[in-house]
Amino acid sequence: MVVFGAIEAGGTKFVCAVGTGPADLRARTEFPTTLPQETIARAVGWLKEQGQHAPLAAVGIGSFGPIDVNTASPWYGFITTTPKAGWRNTDLVGPIRRALGVRVAFDTDVNAAALGEQTWGAAKGLSTFVYITVGTGIGGGGLVEGRLMHGALHPEMGHMRIAHDWRADPFPGLCPFHGDCWEGLASGPAIAARWGRQPEELPPDHPAWPLEARYLALGVANLVCALSPQRIILGGGVMRQAGLLPLIRQMTLELLNGYIQVEAIVQHIDQYIVPPRLGDNAGVLGAMALAIGAHRRAAAPGGRLGDLL
């Protein structure tokens, strides 16, 4: 019986786990993200300890970014241009692979979460879909025709430019790179800065929520048009606000305005824009799915993850 290690490397905390899936999550821990050397050593130490009970076949890492996922690049496995203090140009994969001596799979936190949802959750059976998290930032990833989206770098959906009506919302946005990009207008910190209160303290009838729903629907409608996903999963702390998801569904339909006549969207929007199914473990289970995929691909080159699980 093989067991896999998983690391959800977040800007605020690291979550580590070992197991083979949601029904077999054998151990899990989390600790704050401090400086790289200390944080990586802590993850390695914990995984080493767990590996004494059952040897790890591979480790998966879903990381905050931007990161280098190009296996041909000398910077593969690095966190690159992050604004997070101390983490710029940090090699994450190298020290973990060297310390544990196993195959390490590496991708963005949102691509990992997307793969986890496809393997065990809200995107089972789908080949083309998008996973978006709305929390401290906005991130998006997903699969196209069964493959995780990479390309020139990897998707940075949170930094899409969306329509910003300055008269209705004079808040300039807080992205250090773009000001009023999607994340700059609609992340949790953007809500807090605009209204002077944390999102969870804003009552359900506060005007913050229709505005938030409109911004999220604008991004979702753009993604529907750009990528033609079979489903869009919306997760993250901000999405815990009751009533936000139905508003986003309604506004997305209004923005599309009947142009995309697909039954899954027009007739079944409540099954088209959905919450994640793996809950708080989506990230770390996604990292585990990355590890399983890498292990199985090594065992059967050319095989697809879905054929092997």
Residues in the site for Zn ion, rule: CB under 5 A? 159, 175, 177-178, 181
Using alpha carbons, select from 104, 2, 7, 111 the residue that is nearest to residue 54. Answer: 2
CA gap 286, 116 in Å, rounded? 4
Least distance between Zn ion and beta carbon 286 (Å)? 23
Q: Are strands 78-79 and 90-91 parallel, antiparallel or unpaired?
A: antiparallel
- Give the single-character DSSP code of 281: G
Query: Would you say 175 or 287 has its CB closer to Zn ion?
Result: 175
Q: Are 144 and 227 in contact (CB under 8 A)?
A: yes
Residue (105 or 181) nearer to Zn ion, CB? 181
User: Which sign does the torsion angle of CA 283, 230, 119, 100 carry?
Assistant: negative
Q: How far is the CB of 273 from Zn ion (least distance, A)?
A: 23
Two tokens, residue 75: 């910077």
Shortest separation between residue 186's beta carbon and Zn ion, angstroms: 11
Q: Given the complex with Zn ion, which of 75 and 177 has the nearer CB atom?
A: 177
Buried b (16+ CB within 10 A) or exposed e, 6-18: bbbbbbeebbbbb
Tell how far CA 58 is from the center of its chain. 21
Shortest reach from residue 183's CB to Zn ion, in Å: 5
The token pair that represents 244 in the structure block: 């936000």
Question: CA-to-CA distance for 175 and 83, rounded, in angstroms?
Answer: 11
Query: What minimum distance in Å lies between the beta carbon of 37 and Zn ion?
Result: 29
HSE of 260 in the Cβ direction (CA atoms, 13 Å)?
Answer: 20
Task: Kindly tell me which of 122 and 181 has the beta carbon lying closer to Zn ion.
Answer: 181
- 135: nearest Cα among 216, 30, 39: 216
Q: Which is nearer to Zn ion, 159 or 249 (CB)?
A: 159
Rounded Cα–Cα distance for residues 292 and 271 (Å): 28
Q: Whole-number minimum distance, CB 175 to Zn ion, in Å? A: 3
Select 68 or 180, whichever has its Cβ closest to Zn ion. 180
Location of structure tokens 């292990």: 295
In the complex with Zn ion, the residue whose CB is nearer, 178 or 297, is: 178
Least distance to Zn ion, CB of residue 301, Å = 38
